[in-house]
A and B are shown apart, each in its own frame.
Chain A
Amino acid sequence: MRQVHVMKTIELSEKQIDVDLMRRVAEGDEAAFSKLYDRFSAPLYSLVRQMTNNDTEAEDALSEGFTQIWRRAATYDPDRSAAFTWAVMLVRNKTIDRLRVRQRVAKVRDGVAAQLSPEDDVDSQSMLAPHLREQARRVREAVSQLPEEQRTPLEMNFFDGMTHDEIAERLDTPLGTVKARIRRGMQKLRSLWKEDQ
């Protein structure tokens, strides 16, 4: 119990560090940007690499993502989201735009589900800031416990940027069912994370 409390305290203070870095980045502080890059670049690159399935495209997407973070840091509101959440949503949306222009949405899908693994090796974990390391462990464990029928459409939505309509067509499943499975998947993830905390 005490260990859980300590972990929560560390997580909160690490999130506060992210918020402070974002504030300094908004003021044009290069040193703060450098630190923020060190904390976020591995998970953000892993995300865009997963989404694009292409090293060059992923590097371009990451570069564009951090350029947007630098330029739009002043619009970040710590009362509305964690800095990492904000960065993920921004980078993901930009990458979806890229994929759509390239017509690659839904084409990069094949085999992606099999690539998501419940665990990473020690070297991979060391790429993450401490608070994200623990969060990643919880997320992977929770995702691995999702039923396939919920996990697949959720991953198609998140990593491929596919709309519900596109997922329904790809999986040959009624739209309402796809929506319900994605929503239930999200609810189940939340309950699993809470159980784990």
Chain B
Amino acid sequence: MIDDEMLEMASLYVLGDLQAEQAARFEAELLGDVELQRVVAELQEDFASLALAAPMVRPPAGLKPRLIAQFRAENNPTKVIRVSFLPWAIAAALAVAATFFFLQQTKLQKQVAELQSRDLLTQTRVAVLQSQVDTYASGSAVVVWDEKNQKGLVRFDKLPMQEGKDYQLWALDPAQKAPIDAGLIPVVNSQAAKFDFHPSMHVGKGSKFAVSIEQKGGSKQPSGQIIFVGE
């Protein structure tokens, strides 16, 4: 039997209005409680149904074939190179690079898991940022955030240099109306970037992090393309 307090938590969870720590505790509760899972599923279905209350608008023509072409290109990157020695050499190099990248990713994931386990004991939080645009889909970005000391470390892989532009990190604090500037990301080469950062304002609990491409020298508020977001 679900009590009122848990029902309230379930509602807030579905509505996305729990703080990160509360949400994590609730999810732990959810794992072992079939009845609670059923309640959450029902609430989610009700909530998601609200999407159907929006006035129907036809989606832009041409988006579907573009998406399918994009997926096909991602899945078959070597499909067009069938002849001559050079393409095979490139394919082999790509395979080596992919293996290397996979190993790096695995290593990174292990590091993340380790850091996440340490979270239970410390104030450190690890945010794995998701790419928002296809150009950066193969890249990875991880933020390690020390909330108590208000400082962090960010690491990126496969971040191409942008002529006349800078990458800028932002903290998205639900308690703040505007994103908080967390500094420019120094990209020395196109492979990786790592730097310590200290946001310009206090960053509260449950904050997300994002990266945008901004004019050289950065912006006061994000105005360019958002390439990574995560919490």
Interface residues of A (CB under 8 A from B): 28, 30, 33-34, 37-38, 41-47, 49-50, 55, 59, 62-64, 66-67, 70, 80-82, 84-85, 88-89, 92-94, 96-98, 100-103, 115-117, 120, 124-125, 127-128, 132, 135-136, 139-140, 143, 154-155, 157-159, 161, 163-165, 179, 182-183, 186, 189-190, 193
**Contact between A127 and B226 (Cβ–Cβ < 8 Å)?**
no
Interface residue from A84, A127, A155, A183 paired with B8 (Cβ < 8 Å)? A183
- Assign chain B's interface to a size class: 35 or more
> What is the CA–CA distance of A42 and B229 in the complex, to the nearest angstrom?
25
A-contact bits for B30-69, CB 8 A (1 contact / 0 none): 0000000100011111111111111111111001101110
Write the nearest CB–CB distance from B46 to chain A, whole angstroms.
5
**Contact between B212 and A41 (Cβ–Cβ < 8 Å)?**
no
> What is the CA–CA distance of A132 and B212 in the complex, to the nearest angstrom?
36
In the complex, which residues of chain A have a beta carbon less than 8 angstroms from the beta carbon of B52?
A: 43, 128, 132, 135-136, 139-140
In the complex, which residues of chain A have a beta carbon less than 8 angstroms from the beta carbon of B210?
A: 97, 101
Interface residue from A41, A85, A116 paired with B48 (Cβ < 8 Å)? A85
Query: Does residue B134 face the partner (Cβ distance < 8 Å to A)?
Result: yes
Considering only CB atoms, which chain A residue lies closest to B65 in the complex? A34
**Contact between A46 and B222 (Cβ–Cβ < 8 Å)?**
no
**Contact between A46 and B63 (Cβ–Cβ < 8 Å)?**
no
Q: Given that A30-B68, A64-B132, A85-B45 are known contacts, is A46 also in contact with B54, CB under 8 Å in the complex?
A: yes
Query: Does residue B108 face the partner (Cβ distance < 8 Å to A)?
Result: no
Interface residues of B (CB under 8 A from A): 8, 11-12, 15-17, 37, 41-60, 63-64, 66-68, 70-72, 75, 132-134, 170, 172, 174-175, 177-179, 208, 210, 212, 221-222, 226, 229
Interface residue from B59, B134, B172 paired with A100 (Cβ < 8 Å)? B172
In the complex, which residues of chain A have a beta carbon less than 8 angstroms from the beta carbon of B45?
A: 81-82, 85
**Contact between A84 and B68 (Cβ–Cβ < 8 Å)?**
no
> What is the CA–CA distance of A79 and B17 in the complex, to the nearest angstrom?
24
Considering only CB atoms, which chain A residue lies closest to B174 in the complex? A163
> What is the CA–CA distance of A38 and B177 in the complex, to the nearest angstrom?
37
Please give me the 7 A-B residue pairs with the lowest Cβ-Cβ distance, nearest first.
A124-B56, A45-B59, A136-B52, A88-B48, A50-B54, A85-B48, A47-B51
**Contact between A102 and B222 (Cβ–Cβ < 8 Å)?**
yes
**Contact between A135 and B11 (Cβ–Cβ < 8 Å)?**
no
Write the nearest CB–CB distance from A118 to chain B, whole angstroms.
9
Write the nearest CB–CB distance from A114 to chain B, whole angstroms.
11
Considering only CB atoms, which chain B residue lies closest to A125 in the complex? B56
Q: Given that A88-B48, A183-B11 are known contacts, is A34 also in contact with B64, CB under 8 Å in the complex?
A: yes
Write the nearest CB–CB distance from B66 to chain A, whole angstroms.
8
In the complex, which residues of chain A have a beta carbon less than 8 angstroms from the beta carbon of B48?
A: 81, 84-85, 88-89, 92
**Contact between A42 and B56 (Cβ–Cβ < 8 Å)?**
yes
**Contact between A46 and B55 (Cβ–Cβ < 8 Å)?**
yes
**Contact between B37 and A63 (Cβ–Cβ < 8 Å)?**
no
In the complex, which residues of chain A have a beta carbon less than 8 angstroms from the beta carbon of B179?
A: 100-101, 103
